[in-house]
Structure 1
Amino acid sequence: MAWLLVIAAALLEIVWALALDRSDGFTRPGPAAVGVIAAALSFVLLAFALRVLPVGTAYAVWIGLGALGVALAGILILGESASAARLVCLFLILIGVVGLRLLEG
């Protein structure tokens, strides 16, 4: 259950990062509010997961999945670069996240 909370928190991290990008420096209240609320919920879910999981592992997975998701959204939705080097680095993040999860049990 704790791992599901970390995954949900990471998904919310993706939401808040994209919403804050759309908020144009907090000048657009709708996306800014979505970003702030999603960030708060992400922190809360992570905090609940930390009741069971070690902080180093849970935090690394949370950040890794969030970063991976935001980068992929940038490529797929926002038209950012999808160079081979960038994709390899994102794959390495994924391998690290999976490794941490498998090693933690």
Structure 2
Amino acid sequence: MAQTVGIAMCQAMIEYDQGNYDQAMELLYPLRYRIVDIGGSDAQRDLFNQLLIHTALKSDNKRHQKLGRCLLVERDSLRLDSPMTQRLQQTAMALHL
């Protein structure tokens, strides 16, 4: 698991921390459906999804930004009336996607 998910996750967090959001997104997105393989609680998996959304919205790549909006719509349907999701949706709308 460390080889297939853990290393890429660590690399993505380093890229994110350094402001390389495009590269972080390229590393994170393929892990989206594999993150359940490493276990953890729903809250821990939600944290991954939040990182994915933030990364997508901060990316300069318009495709990533649009994906971020799609992920927000998905999150909104799963977590109704979440103030965090509503704030992130406002941020995404400000990007004029």
Shared topology, TM-score over 0.5? Answer: no
Short-chain TM bin: 0.3 to 0.5
Q: When the two structures are superposed, what TM-score results if normalisation uses the length of structure 1?
A: 0.32
Comparing both chains, which one has the higher relative contact order based on Cα–Cα distances under 8 Å and sequence gaps of 6 or more?
1
Q: When the two structures are superposed, what TM-score results if normalisation uses the length of structure 2?
A: 0.34
Rg comparison, structure with higher value: 1
